[in-house]
Structure 1
Amino acid sequence: PVALQVLEHEVRRDGRSGAFKSTHRGQIQFMAIKSGHAPNFRLPPLDNWGLPLKISPWSVEEPVADLPRRTRGWRMGDPLAYIIDFRDPADTSRVDFRIYYQDAGHIPEAWHWVESAVDSVDLAIVTVASSNLIGQREFIRKVRAHIKPRHWLLGHWEDFFKVYSQDPESICSVPFTNPEGFVKKLLEEGVGEERWVLPTPGTVLNY
């Protein structure tokens, strides 16, 4: 059985290096990185003057016995990003493939880069949802500068509150997201067509 691990003291933060945890005999190692969450929506007016807001941006301070019955009970907590290393089985000090994964849209800081023998991240899995509210171009530039990905996977652009579909014409994007605009800016910033993918739900990708 897989044991639940508390990572509070191993999380990489500004001024704290963080620590790798390992599984599968050291062949998979990961480090949690303090991250953030883009606002969920913007109050009118919907231009840059509207106030961006997050839904339930608090933490659960005490253990709970039952699941929340109201929306405000489902609290955001502390969003994390992760560096995930797939390492050489013959020599686990060598990184075969490195992933940067973020679970919510957030512009990474310089200290999100984890120093190691590798000089880039093989795959950055970034969250496109609500990226309009944090600045898509700035988001892309900071990922390029601080994460240095060779490939991009643009995730969570689709609205999972809508009916599930694999038909691109039937999929609705998350409000305040504009995935087409994100891709346009990605290309303008010099990320070639062969280096990114905006997958529909259910897509299988091999790297």
Structure 2
Amino acid sequence: MRTTALLCGMALALGASSATAAAADRATQSVESKYAAEAKAMGLSARQAAQLQDRVDAQLADMKIPAEQVKYNEIRTKDGSSSITLPVPGAAADTSCPSEYLCLWDGAYWTGTKHTFWACGYVNLSDLGFNDRLTSYKNNQTTGTVSSFYNWEGSWVYKFGSRAYHTEDSLANTPWNNMIDRVLVC
């Protein structure tokens, strides 16, 4: 009798655990369907949408801080201090940088993956899966605000600064291209 009760309890626990896993799986599928629908509405084919989702998933996996996908091509850190916008296949690059933000790209002349920052403080770019990838930037913060760029060389070494308003540069032909590991936003 005791063995039967124990087995029944185990079966109930397994059933509850399976139900929880199934609910989580349905929620994941629902979110993925939402982003696939957004991508389709933007004119992407199913294949392009799947490839973009794979890149979003890879970016999230490279990140060392809590973040979540908020659009079909956008990730936001849980604290809201920054966002990452992945380029859309076949679309023009998003070269915009909102007022009062610092924006970084991994491509020359504001192309490729874009990182957008608004909160003042040090940002270790490896936490975002972006160390040694900076190739262009726009400092569109409030006038006079300086952002500083650093490289890790056994300690943080200052490389250059950018004074706002609307300072922009492509680092493609400079010694700092694909070198920067840390930014002091503000």
Q: Do both proteins adopt the same fold according to a TM-score greater than 0.5, normalized to the shorter chain?
A: no
> Hey, which of these two has a bigger chunk of strand by percent?
2
Alignment TM-score, normalising by the size of structure 1 = 0.30
**Higher Rg:** 2
Alignment TM-score, normalising by the size of structure 2 = 0.32
> Hey, which of these two has a bigger chunk of helix by percent?
2
